[in-house]
Amino acid sequence: MEMITIILLSISLSMDAFSLALAYGTLNMEKRLCQRISLMVGIFHFVMPLLGMSVKRLLVNYSSIPFHFITFLIYIYLGIMLLLEVREERKVTPLSSFKEQMLFSFAVSIDSFTVGIALFHFTLIAPISFAIFSASFTLLGLKLGSKIRDLLGKIAVVMGAFFFFLLAFLHL
């Protein structure tokens, strides 16, 4: 069950990066730039849950709320945030500077920090899985961007939200 949860989380966390990468893919970026952005997203998706897991230790030590309830609330929150994103139109500007690439990578990885707080066991398997899935989905999104952005972008986000809701209720 734990590995299925990690895979579902990896897919869910990758959907935001994928949907944004679809939009950026329409800019026909160079292959090297696509690879660099994908790698940066993967690195952020590795580091952010580790930071979240560290914060979790503090929460567990200083909170009397049952941890499975905190996990439920975090997943519900992330699912709602993904659904709200579907309604927003994102403005796409070129990721030409390193600063813009870092901000993009951070923005699509912030939810993995929150998921890191919700993870029950400290293990490197989850952050490694998050990194591999998110880097792969980002690269795929950048490559497919010009072809299917309008159709699949919103569907991908809705699928990610569905996975978060599913995980929330599995942890109750």
pLDDT of residue 165: 80
How many domains does the structure of the chain reveal? Answer: 1
pLDDT of residue 158: 72
Other C-beta atoms within 10 Å of 111: how many? 27
pLDDT digits (tens, 9 = 90+) for 111-133: 888 888 877 666 789 999 999 99
As a residue count, the chain comes to 172
Q: How far apart are CA 29 and CA 7, in angstroms?
A: 29
72 or 153: which carries more pLDDT confidence? Answer: 72
pLDDT of residue 41: 96
92 or 26: which carries more pLDDT confidence? Answer: 26
pLDDT of residue 135: 96
Average pLDDT over residues 20-34: 81
pLDDT of residue 46: 96
Question: What does DSSP assign to residue 88?
Answer: S
pLDDT of residue 30: 85
Task: Tell me the percentage of the chain whose pLDDT exceeds 90.
Answer: 21
Average pLDDT over residues 81-100: 70
Q: In this model, does residue 156 exceed pLDDT 70?
A: no
Q: In this model, does residue 1 exceed pLDDT 60?
A: no
Amino acid identity of 162?
A: F
146 or 83: which carries more pLDDT confidence? Answer: 83
Average pLDDT, the chain: 80
Rounded to whole angstroms, the maximal C-alpha distance in the chain is: 51
Domain of residue 45 covers 2-170
Q: Which helix (H) or strand (E) holds 93?
A: none
pLDDT of residue 16: 79
162 or 164: which carries more pLDDT confidence? Answer: 162
| Residue 3 in tokens | 């590995």
